[in-house]
Amino acid sequence: MMKTVLMVSPTYLPVMGGSEIYSADLCKYLSGKGHRVYLIGCTFPLKGKYKMIENGKNYRIFRIPCLNRRLLEKTAKHPLIYPLMVIPPLFFFSFLFLLIQGREVDVIHAQSVSAGLIVLILSAIFGKRRVVTTHGKYFSENPYHLQYNKYARFIGRVFGKFDRVLAINEQSREELARIGVKAENIKVAPHWVDQEIFKPEDKKTSKAALGWEGKFIVFYAGRFVEDKGIENLISAAKSAKNKAVFAFAGTGPLQRAVIDASISHENILYLGEIDTQKMPLYYNAADLVIIASRHAGDGIPRVIMETLSCGTPVIGANRGGIPDVLTPQVGMLIEPTVKEINSAIERLFEDRVLLDKLTGNCRKYAQEKFSMKNAEIAEGSYYEDH
C-alpha cells in the first residue's frame, strides 16, 4: 500500500549538507516507488535552477526562502538561535499545508531535532504517524557538542514520542537509548548513495579531464569551517614533504584562508563549489579523499559513501560515526592532527601496493554498506508492523 508522506526538513537545497541531500534522495526514492511525497524546508533566497515550488512525478517540494547564508553559518551550531531561525516559518507553512491537504497525508517525517519538535506538534493536532531521522550524534565530551548535553532530557522527550526513530548509525542508536527513547522504537537506517551515479571510472581519463595528469591528488570536499579541520589540512599541505597536491572543493567562512594558501603554495588547489553532478569525476580523479573533522557530531559523512562507491580510498578522522564505516579494508583512521594527516598521506604516497589494495576493495565494500536497501528501512518505518 502506497503512502502519502509529508517530509519536514529544517533546511533544504540549495543549502548543502548531508541531511539536505538525504532528504532529496529519500524524496526521489519514495516517489520512484509510487509513494506521494511533499517536502517542506527552509532555504536561502532562490536564484538560478531552484524554484520555490518544484513539481515532479509523485512529489512536490516547497522551499521557504527565509535564511541568510552568513547568519546561518554563524548560528548553525547554536542549539537555541539556529532553531529560532527555522522553526517559526517551518511550523507556520507546514500547519497551513496540513489544514489544506492534511486528509491525504499518512505520515509526517522529520529530519533532525528542530523539525522533530514541529512534527511532534503537528502530528498531535492532525493525528498522523510520526517518524524522525537523526543525522549524527547529539552528545559528547567534545566542546562542539557540550552545548547540546544540557538539552538531553528535552531531546529525549521529543524523540521518545515518535512512532519510529531512525538512527544514522549504531552510535546514534545507543545514544538515543541512553536519553530515554524506547529501544523497540529505534531502527538503524544509514544513508545510501545511488551506485549508478557514483561508480568507478578510469582514473587516468578522469585526471586528464581535470588537468591533473601525473599528480597525486588528496581531495577534500565540504564546508570550509573550523570544525571540519580546514586549518589543519592547510597546514598539512604547506608542510608536506612529498609531492601530493591538496585540492579543496567547497565554500564557507574559511574560504579566504584556502584561497590565500592556494596562491602561495603550488601544491594547494582551490576549486570552489562543485556541482553535485560533477562530483563523481573528482572522486575518480583523486588518489585519496580526506575527512579531518575535529568534532564528534558527524554521523556518516556522505563524502565517504560517495568516494568509496567511486573506488577511491579515504583517510578519515576517528570522530563521530566515521569509525563505524571506515575500516582498514578501504582506508585509514587517524587523529586529525597535522602530524597524523601528513603521516597517513606519506604512507600511501610511498606504498602504492597498499594504495592499490585499498582502491580495489572500495567499490564492493560500498555496494554492501551503502546500497538502496538502506532506503528500504526508511520506507518501512511508515508502516505499523515495521
* Nearest to 79, CA basis, from 134, 13, 149, 9: 149
Which pTM was predicted? 0.87
Judge contact between 359 and 288, C-beta under 8 A: no
Judge contact between 306 and 198, C-beta under 8 A: yes
In terms of domains, do 186 and 230 share one? Answer: no
Residue 386 lies in a domain: no
In terms of domains, do 276 and 148 share one? Answer: no
In terms of domains, do 76 and 183 share one? Answer: yes
In terms of domains, do 141 and 243 share one? Answer: no
CATH number at 298 reads 3.40.50.2000
Residue 361 lies in a domain: yes
Mean pLDDT for each 10-residue chunk of the chain (386 residues)?
A: 96 87 95 98 86 96 87 65 85 98 97 94 97 79 51 86 93 87 94 95 98 98 91 97 95 95 98 94 98 76 95 94 92 97 97 98 96 95 84
Over the range 86-106, which residues count as b (16 or more CB within 10 Å of their CB) and which as e? bbeebbebbbebbeeebeebb
The pLDDT, as a whole number, for residue 143 is 47
The pLDDT, as a whole number, for residue 146 is 42
In terms of domains, do 234 and 139 share one? Answer: no
In terms of domains, do 152 and 216 share one? Answer: no
The pLDDT, as a whole number, for residue 339 is 97
- In the DSSP assignment, the letter for residue 162 is S
Residue 385 lies in a domain: no
C-alpha cell belonging to residue 349: 604516497
Residue 234 lies in a domain: yes
Number of domains in the chain: 2
Residue 350 lies in a domain: yes
Residue 155 lies in a domain: yes
In terms of domains, do 345 and 232 share one? Answer: yes
The pLDDT, as a whole number, for residue 67 is 80
The pLDDT, as a whole number, for residue 321 is 81
CA dihedral 169, 190, 90, 144 (to 10 degrees): 40
Between CA 280 and CA 165 the distance in angstroms is 31
In terms of domains, do 149 and 255 share one? Answer: no
Residue 214 lies in a domain: yes
In terms of domains, do 23 and 64 share one? Answer: yes
The pLDDT, as a whole number, for residue 349 is 97
In terms of domains, do 40 and 172 share one? Answer: yes
In terms of domains, do 113 and 208 share one? Answer: no
Judge contact between 231 and 340, C-beta under 8 A: no
In terms of domains, do 340 and 226 share one? Answer: yes
Residue 90 lies in a domain: yes
Instruction: Find the domain containing 272 and state its range.
Output: 203-369
